[in-house]
Amino acid sequence: MANHLRDRLRAVALLCLASGVLAAPAWADLTKFEIDGRIYTKHLYQNDDSQGLLSLGNPFWPDKVSGHNGVGSEFELTFRGKVSDYVEAGARVASRFGQRWQDWWESGASDFGGQENTSGDSAGMNRAAYMQLRGSYVQLNLRMPGVDWVRIGSSDFGMFNPWTIGKVRYIDRDNGRGYFASGHFGKDDQFQYHVGIIAMPKLFVGPGWSTGLGDPNLGGNAFWSRDWAYAASVRWQPQDETIVRWVADYTQDLEVDKADPDAVGSTNPTCLDQLGNPIPGCVIDHAVDMLSRYSSWNSTLDIDHTFLDVWRVQGLLALSGQRIDQTLTANGVALNQGVFPIVYKDTDAFAGTLRITGNDPWGIGLTLQGEYFNIGQDYNAIFGARREADVLLTDGLVGNGGQLPTMNLANEFIDFDDEWVESCIGWHGGTGLATWEKDETRLRAEYTFITYNQNTQGRDIDKVYPTFLFSEGFTDTAVYDYANTLDRGRDPRSVFKRDQDRHTQIAMTNLRQRWPEAHGLELDAKFKYVSDVDYRRLNGPGALNDDYYGNIFIARAKLSMPLWDGIKVGVLGQIDHWDEQHRTGTPELGYGNDVTDKQTAAFQTQIYWQGVKISYYLEYIHKFQDRERQPDQLWNIIRSKATIEAAW
């Protein structure tokens, strides 16, 4: 433990001793106690009239936090204590984010009908900045044969993988709780395992992003207190160069069997039918039967092998499946306009990737990577990583946040400068990536070809396959709105269409050059071209006139340099030109050709000073959307984000 902290705690202990509050033996325990603190303040401003602290908040419910103009703070304390030689315990408490500095008096009450007014008792808990327990755990470091530790409480699930149970996104990093254990066994501890029994979040892991709550088929009687996920991973490293991993999970959403006479709201409370006759098998025994509303499983087997020191092969096979009881699960595809995170039927699917990397095999600074991927159209990691992970090598179509094999992506609770993730369900193709690095120069070039396992005609998107309502057009992540009132293009979760015959090519080059002699000046330039072709309908009237041809050009350059110790500044410029023929329309009315031009300029600085981190990002976007069949659209956006973070 650090001197300063111990000194501080000793001082506290001595003060307590002097005042007679603390008994002397407690001193020894205090020296085994760590406290980390953090205050984070964010300023978000834009030349519009929305109020809030978050660019993109809850996509479904009004959250009183989202908006583009506001400043607010968050405070957290993380505690770690050594209980004994074998036991560690910890917790994090953090204030709820969303209270703007102008919310002087908001108490957390939502009196007066929850309407905002001058009372100070109106805006609810989201604006009260109350302290909330976010993570608590006890870890038993057993150090016994076969079991290293057992953990009860919070975990970020980092021991599994994005294809099964993904590492939880940062803002939820310790909201997941369960029972976990890990250990080693075998010769030279070649095997390492993790197992977990995880309390499933009532939000997001299931049909309609729910384990029953809000499902109309359950009639307001959802039961989620016994919904658990089970996961295991085994890592076998027989030699330094070879690692074999198996990871699997199973999720189980249980609901009450309403035919059980003991259930609240039972359809058979007396075990008699309408004629008064006993119902066979119906017994009142004060025990309630359960039914499975939804279950899913995902499993991966991957091999990571290095040979000749510099060549690395990584292969992964994955399977995915789900079972739905449609009497307990409402059809969100039909009822929610296709905004639904699963296919509405039982599914089984496979996926596989094979990546080969040559780490500078010829000693000239050239690294080569190639990847083949084939992800089944019904693969869906419902509890997989939702963001902050990436399973493919490619830069992808939108953003550089990564590609994930789930429709449960979380491009939400983010600000305008955060990265985006996209679903790679159904992708089938390959990527080649060459990286040349020499001293202060790094040059990367990528080519990717993708076809789609979803390519078919006449898919049932009315009752089975979700489309997320908007499947057409290149996605604009910079000017995005959930409801798509501003024609922002395809939802990154939308992987199904009624008629599709699509293939995509991506070419990307990226140059990073540093000049130490010029005070560390750094250039990061990127050019990307996406050719996206979808012949849509292949037969029938108008089939020849609905073909989509998207030619997407994006050029970006950033110059940055350190001014002096701890201060870095940068300027950025980006030009987008999206030429999309037959971008939107209908078979009946025809399709229009749209051209989007966008110019972005930005200034950025980061300052590290005496333990405080300050960052500032100022951006101007000019976007013009020339649309053939709808009115043109213009954006002139100026927006900024400033954060101040002090941690100790």
Contact residues toward other proteins (CB under 8 A) are 1-5, 31-32, 36, 38, 80, 82, 84-86, 88, 90, 139, 141, 148-149, 158-159, 167, 182, 192, 194, 237, 240, 304, 306, 308, 310-312, 356-363, 367, 370, 372, 388, 419, 437, 439-440, 442, 514, 516, 520, 562, 565-568, 606-611, 613, 647-648
CB 531 within 8 A of CB 508: no
Reduce the DSSP state of residue 465 to 3 states and report it. coil
Task: Give the angle subtended at the CA of 98 by the CAs of 619 and 167, to the nearest 5°.
Answer: 80
For other proteins, which is the closer residue by CB, 139 or 640? Answer: 139
Compute the distance between CA of residue 44 and CA of residue 52 in angstroms, rounded to an integer.
8
Within 13 A of 315's CA, how many CA atoms are on the CB side?
Answer: 6
The H or E element that residue 332 is part of is helix 332-335
Measured CA to CA, the distance from residue 203 to residue 323 in angstroms comes to 19
Shortest Å distance, C-beta 303 to other proteins = 13
Per-residue burial over 120-134, b if 16 or more Cβ lie within 10 Å, else e, is ebbbbbbbbbeeeeb
- The separation between the first and the last C-alpha atoms of the chain, rounded to the nearest angstrom, is 14
Residue from 171, 538, 114 nearest 386 by CA = 171
How far apart are CB 245 and other proteins at their closest, in Å? 11
For other proteins, give the closer residue by CB, 327 or 441: 441
- Report the alpha-carbon distance of residue 378 to residue 323 in Å, rounded: 12
Minimum CB distance to other proteins smaller for 316 or for 495:
316
Q: What is the DSSP string of 473-517?
A: S---SSS--TT-TT-----TT----SSB-EEEEEEEEEEEEEEGG
Please report how close the Cβ of residue 53 comes to other proteins at its closest, in angstroms.
20
> 618 or 637: whose CB is closer to other proteins?
618
Give CA–CA dist 44/641, Å, rounded.
Answer: 5
Cβ closest to other proteins, residue 75 vs residue 624: 75
> Could you tell me the smallest distance in angstroms from the CB atom of residue 43 to other proteins?
19
**Least Å distance between CB 10 and other proteins?**
13
| Token digits of residue 402 | 């990564």
Q: Which is nearer to other proteins, 271 or 607 (CB)?
A: 607
Supply the minimum distance, in Å, between the C-beta of residue 88 and other proteins. Answer: 5
Beta bridge partners of 584: 592
For residue 550, the minimal CB distance to other proteins (Å) is 27
Largest Cα span, the chain: 94
Q: Encoding tokens for residue 594?
A: 């749209």
Of 124 and 135, the one with the shorter C-beta distance to other proteins is: 135
Cβ neighbours, 10 Å, residue 598: 19
Nearest-approach distance from CB 234 to other proteins, in angstroms: 13
Residue 101, amino acid = W
Q: Between 128 and 389, whose beta carbon lies closer to other proteins?
A: 389
Nearest approach in angstroms of CB 388 to other proteins is: 6
The two beta strands, 633-647 and 590-609, are unpaired
Contacts of 546 by beta carbon, 8 Å cutoff, 6+ apart: 535, 536, 537, 582, 585, 587, 590, 591
Smallest gap, in angstroms, from Cβ of residue 336 to other proteins? 32
Of the pair 399, 592, the CB lying nearest other proteins is at 399
- In the complex with other proteins, the residue whose CB is nearer, 223 or 427, is 427
Is residue 492 within 8 Å of 398, Cβ to Cβ?
A: yes
